[in-house]
Structure 1
């Protein structure tokens, strides 16, 4: 090779690495060298210079500049814009591709990465309209497919980028897209999944897979999925898909994902509708279900925060004079937009703008009345009825924006609220909206309850049509006259039939046909008289009127009662409520409609919350729902919630549950009232006795009923049972190491992996329980060995075999570390260490010795009594002798524990060995979940 050429090419490569500004001139120079030299010599030296930046995996501007220059030079010889061009690819470019195909499987990971990276650069530099030879395309595809199996996720990600220009969206069997879809679903690397979403073609098939990635465990993958979907027309998605995307995205715990949905996805969809907010709402169809409405409200709130107020007001189809949407232009979309905009203006304290879009309260009440009248005048289809109910609900939500200081307006509001409750269009959501706000409209409890009770009475009053049918129509004399007339007509009928028979025999068919018409009329007269005679005769006694109990009426009545009883101002079961309970609710428990039965059960439960004696009377009724209605999970759910609410409110002792032991079994009641440590001044209260109920000491039958639901096939029942039992433990209503053990196993059971809410609930509970509950450390200590034994005894095919017992041990020990609980002086590890060593030395132990010995590293033992220290050292020496016999690998764990015991645990070991229970979940999600549980428990206790 010409030495001068070699030096020139090397000098040129040296210059281009520093800046891109000289690339054009250097390309011309290099092209001149190419034309003056032999192809093989030039290609050899060019590739030789290229190998240096290809061998550097780290990102560096000099490497980037060199590779960009090489890629642009390589594709500069040929035009790739003509598909039918017969011109063959430049031989230099062919040699370059051959070199890359030979080097893609290099031993060095960095080289493999750079080869894929440079190949993508070359293909990208070819331009948007490029075409390449089929053979070369297949060769690149096959080689990059091999790199998709690379052990390095970074190499796999670069291979995907290299393949992005070889995918064919029009081909349903495109191998590249098939590979992308496979790795998008199966690849363990989030970087690979994210890269695929950034470069995959958008088709109906790829869109469906991208939709599933919006629930990926990695937040950056979720963000990439939303970015992928934001570039797809909103019309390509179904209404259900749009709702789920916005609902999941706007509620995502990660701000990166949430902001992506707000700034990219929503505004992309808004652009599809030319900035028309109401058209975007129409695409979400908010009026058809609650979830759709909630999603639409979330979306609007996000848009309103970043939009100009004047633009928003201009989009409202309001009448300038009345400041109302004309009745003939009203729709579920524009009324929801009106409500959300009004709430936004009030939230931002833009009072003048708010007054410009809503009228005075009395005028607004008249508007609702006119809408009700318009709706009542029409014959509605089912979907129209649903939409009108939605619009009414939004209008009553807007009522909450008004100041109720206007006495006249407040009285008008009271009137329209009561009239709406009695309207046939009233739904359960409208009832809840009105009755909840009725507290503000009528602060006086007695008057409020009287008004609502009167509404219920009016709703159940028999209609006029029903009453008129109950009034007797015939006197005795009239009935006798009718009977005589009926007898005469029957005789005449027989005569006419006989005459018709004779005409047929004489073949006088026309006359027979005329007689047939007369016979038909006569038969009809006789039937009418018989119907009149079936009406009861008049008597002096008026028929007793029966109240209405159809499903629609009872749904509204029971919803009114349930909602009004949940008002914070109602503390006891007043006579009005007790009367409704006796004369309406209890009768509804036998209603054939299961939904009415469920509402009645809920109403009884709320009444029981207000009256302890009533709770005692009906407590067992809630348990009967499980046996009487085995095929009705809705009733089970309501009954189970009611049971837990009553137990949290009154405690187990209140219902004498301790007496449910087997007959003849002795029960030491004094054990349940065992003494406990006095509280300090900074704790919630001081006491010398504990009213918590020890499950191990009694009431096992009762607990078995509830704990059996932890294994129920219904996910909702499992979650409710778990929440209820954890609340009972947290509030110290029950005490059970066995139950704790079961909950720990449920938390880590592979069967529960897909139930995110259940996992968060248990994770939040154990972190709060270990910190706040006084007896938590002792109960966790007692649950330690039984939990490990349960896992050790699990059958071979049991899903419990998938639980790592060492992980369970680490969790319990970290929950019981000194300093976790408020009582800093408590250290159950001092006792646990002896229990663990005793179990490890037990030749008949069911637990693997390896699990027990390795658990020592998570113990924080602080013995102050020398005798106990000596006993512990002796136990450790015995364990050391035993371990040496069957597994010398475990010796180091005992030695480390002994060293820690002698000298105190080094700081490094604390950092290395301590495993936080909360490390399994996102720390932000965990803190929110703990807060949710604490607030929910506090709310339950207040009720």
Structure 2
């Protein structure tokens, strides 16, 4: 229809042009023959034909303009927007981190990215969020302007879009840190002309800006902490991975969040989440081995984590977690020998602080059932060999033995006290091993060994220790059976040596022979 209409207009225009040419030719003939009345009529007809021609040309121009407008109309369908946003994301990924946002990218941000965030299609919104987060990596001003928007999207939109916004927030915090929140520009203030007024104004603004930045950081941490309890497993996993990145990079140091991650790792609800379990399992090892400060953070979260598990209600999934396994993990993570870069040997060991904390917890409630667990933790610690610290810890452990009544825990604490006292009474071998060997010293040592005949031989220690182990196990069983009874505490008696036993038997045999001789004499 359009082609036929255009052809009809073209034919009509050609006819008008031919009529104009014929009328002009007739006008010239009338003028030459001096027929002025006829010439006036032809002139009027030529004017009408030219007006008709102009109208036809104007209609053609308007039609072509409409066609151009239709071809140049901006498309806003979801497929086109998604294609354009995808190209923007790939372009931003190829840009170097130090490259700033130019005028062209700023125009694309204002005309394409920001309007697409409110689009009805979830795929378009998700790609727009990715574009905004990637743009913010290249400009602090964009972070200050649109960080609140990303936080709102992370809380209110669909799960997939929330995860994209959360990734963007974590990336921004990894790059700029939480100090960026304190640098956010506030509203413009009126400038004062007096220097004193300016100083007073600056002094009043600094605490306000710091408080605002700390409150924003607290709100972000609270949001991340709430996401750890989310029913959406993908969001929970992404949050745990983001917190692990922030803690490992040093942007966050929080014993509470570390305790939350440990509980999340042991929670039976996350048993099927392979990515979460693998991520946290690798993070704990790398985080604790990185520095002593990280081990101190693990030590600080030790008691809160165990108390959360011990106080978990029966309906909670945490009630199924093995508390002993958790304690063993935290003890292993805080060993000084596991550090990549060992610290100063004269520095106080992390396990020393942990031992004091555990002893204090035992003294708070000596009759609690978890006293046995704490005693087992104490016996597995790597304590420093410093004399003053050992004496202080022995004094604290002796206070524990006076308060605790559980026999198994009491036996473990007494054994630890004996080990500490023995290590404290022995000379420091680290100073003698570095000295050269002296022959005279070696001979004197051999003489001392020969003189000490009462010592059992090296091969004779194994059966005695085995018997002692059997005896301790039997005594442990008897003590468990008699926990409910009020039995007085037994005083540990040193076991006599084999020579002493033989001497006692010989003495008894001599006494019996004397009695037999007396009976024979009387008879």
Give yes or no for TM over 0.5. Answer: yes
1:650 corresponding residue in structure 2? 176
Q: CA deviation at 1:824?
A: 2.5
1:889 corresponding residue in structure 2? 408
Residues 298, 334 of structure 2: 8 Å contact kept: yes
| Matched position secondary structure for 2:338 | coil
Name the structure, 1 or 2, with higher relative contact order (CA <8 Å, separation 6+).
2
State which of 321, 327, 338 in structure 2 corresponds to 1:803. 321
Residues 641, 720 of structure 1: 8 Å contact kept: yes
Q: CA deviation at 1:865?
A: 4.7
Q: Deviations over 1:821-841 (max 9, x none)?
A: 224235211111111111101
Q: Pairwise mapping of residues 306-385 of structure 1 onto structure 2 (< 5 A)? A: none
2:420 corresponding residue in structure 1? 901
Q: Call closer, same or farther: CA 1:579–1:728 in 2, change over 3 Å.
A: same
1:254 corresponding residue in structure 2? none
Unaligned runs of 5+ in 1: 1-464, 466-537, 660-667, 673-693, 910-943
1:618 corresponding residue in structure 2? 146
Q: Deviations over 1:621-671 (max 9, x none)?
A: 111114442xx1111111111111111111112023999xxxxxxxx98xx
1:609 corresponding residue in structure 2? 137
Q: Call closer, same or farther: CA 1:658–1:814 in 2, change over 3 Å.
A: farther
Q: Deviations over 1:232-281 (max 9, x none)?
A: xxxxxxxxxxxxxxxxxxxxxxxxxxxxxxxxxxxxxxxxxxxxxxxxxx
Give distance in 2, aligned partners of 1:758 and 1:610.
30
Give distance in 1, aligned partners of 2:216 and 2:114.
32
Residues 366, 403 of structure 2: 8 Å contact kept: no
Give distance in 2, aligned partners of 1:831 and 1:897.
16
| Matched position secondary structure for 1:795 | coil
Give distance in 1, aligned partners of 2:366 and 2:226.
30
Residues 836, 852 of structure 1: 8 Å contact kept: yes
Q: Pairwise mapping of residues 711-860 of structure 1 onto structure 2 (< 5 A)? A: 711-773=229-291, 775-821=293-339, 822-825=341-344, 827-843=349-365, 848-860=370-382
Q: CA deviation at 1:750?
A: 1.4
1:707 corresponding residue in structure 2? 225
Q: Call closer, same or farther: CA 1:746–1:781 in 2, change over 3 Å.
A: same
State which of 550, 554, 558 in structure 1 corresponds to 2:85. 558
Paired residues, number: 337
1:869 corresponding residue in structure 2? 390
Q: CA deviation at 1:575?
A: 2.8
| Matched position secondary structure for 2:74 | coil
Higher percent of residues as helix? 2
State which of 91, 103, 126 in structure 2 corresponds to 1:575. 103
Residues 178, 217 of structure 2: 8 Å contact kept: no
Q: Call closer, same or farther: CA 1:605–1:816 in 2, change over 3 Å.
A: same
1:290 corresponding residue in structure 2? none
Residues 732, 773 of structure 1: 8 Å contact kept: no
Residues 792, 847 of structure 1: 8 Å contact kept: no
Q: Pairwise mapping of residues 127-146 of structure 1 onto structure 2 (< 5 A)? A: none
Q: TM-score by structure 1 length?
A: 0.33
1:419 corresponding residue in structure 2? none
Q: Call closer, same or farther: CA 1:569–1:870 in 2, change over 3 Å.
A: closer
| Matched position secondary structure for 1:819 | helix
Q: Call closer, same or farther: CA 1:739–1:845 in 2, change over 3 Å.
A: farther
Q: TM-score by structure 2 length?
A: 0.59
Q: Deviations over 1:340-378 (max 9, x none)?
A: xxxxxxxxxxxxxxxxxxxxxxxxxxxxxxxxxxxxxxx
1:356 corresponding residue in structure 2? none
Please say which structure displays the higher CA radius of gyration: 2
Q: Pairwise mapping of residues 123-202 of structure 1 onto structure 2 (< 5 A)? A: none
Give distance in 1, aligned partners of 2:216 and 2:379.
37
Q: CA deviation at 1:811?
A: 1.0
Q: CA deviation at 1:847?
A: 7.4
1:878 corresponding residue in structure 2? 399
- Confirm whether residue 638 of structure 1 aligns to residue 136 of structure 2: no
Residues 830, 861 of structure 1: 8 Å contact kept: yes
Give distance in 2, aligned partners of 1:568 and 1:613.
18
Q: Deviations over 1:736-792 (max 9, x none)?
A: 000111111111111112222211111100100011145202211111111111112
Q: Pairwise mapping of residues 524-539 of structure 1 onto structure 2 (< 5 A)? A: none
Q: Deviations over 1:522-547 (max 9, x none)?
A: xxxxxxxxxxxxxxxx7999779641
Give distance in 1, aligned partners of 2:226 and 2:80.
37
Q: CA deviation at 1:902?
A: 3.0
Q: CA deviation at 1:900?
A: 3.1
2:199 corresponding residue in structure 1? none
Give distance in 1, aligned partners of 2:109 and 2:327.
51
Residues 658, 699 of structure 1: 8 Å contact kept: no
2:121 corresponding residue in structure 1? 593
Residues 837, 875 of structure 1: 8 Å contact kept: yes
Residues 154, 166 of structure 2: 8 Å contact kept: no
Q: Pairwise mapping of residues 396-545 of structure 1 onto structure 2 (< 5 A)? A: none
Q: CA deviation at 1:721?
A: 0.4
Give distance in 1, aligned partners of 2:245 and 2:183.
18
| Matched position secondary structure for 1:584 | helix
Residues 181, 216 of structure 2: 8 Å contact kept: no
Residues 384, 390 of structure 2: 8 Å contact kept: no
Unaligned runs of 5+ in 2: 3-61, 186-205, 427-461, 466-523
Residues 837, 879 of structure 1: 8 Å contact kept: yes
Identify which range, 567-576 or 742-751, moves more after superposition.
567-576
Give distance in 2, aligned partners of 1:846 and 1:579.
67
Q: Pairwise mapping of residues 271-286 of structure 1 onto structure 2 (< 5 A)? A: none
Q: CA deviation at 1:715?
A: 1.4
Residues 619, 643 of structure 1: 8 Å contact kept: yes
Q: CA deviation at 1:571?
A: 3.2
Residues 566, 606 of structure 1: 8 Å contact kept: yes
Residues 814, 858 of structure 1: 8 Å contact kept: no
Residues 789, 847 of structure 1: 8 Å contact kept: no
Q: Call closer, same or farther: CA 1:620–1:800 in 2, change over 3 Å.
A: same
Q: Call closer, same or farther: CA 1:655–1:560 in 2, change over 3 Å.
A: same
Give distance in 2, aligned partners of 1:658 and 1:763.
36
Q: Call closer, same or farther: CA 1:612–1:658 in 2, change over 3 Å.
A: closer
| Matched position secondary structure for 1:566 | helix
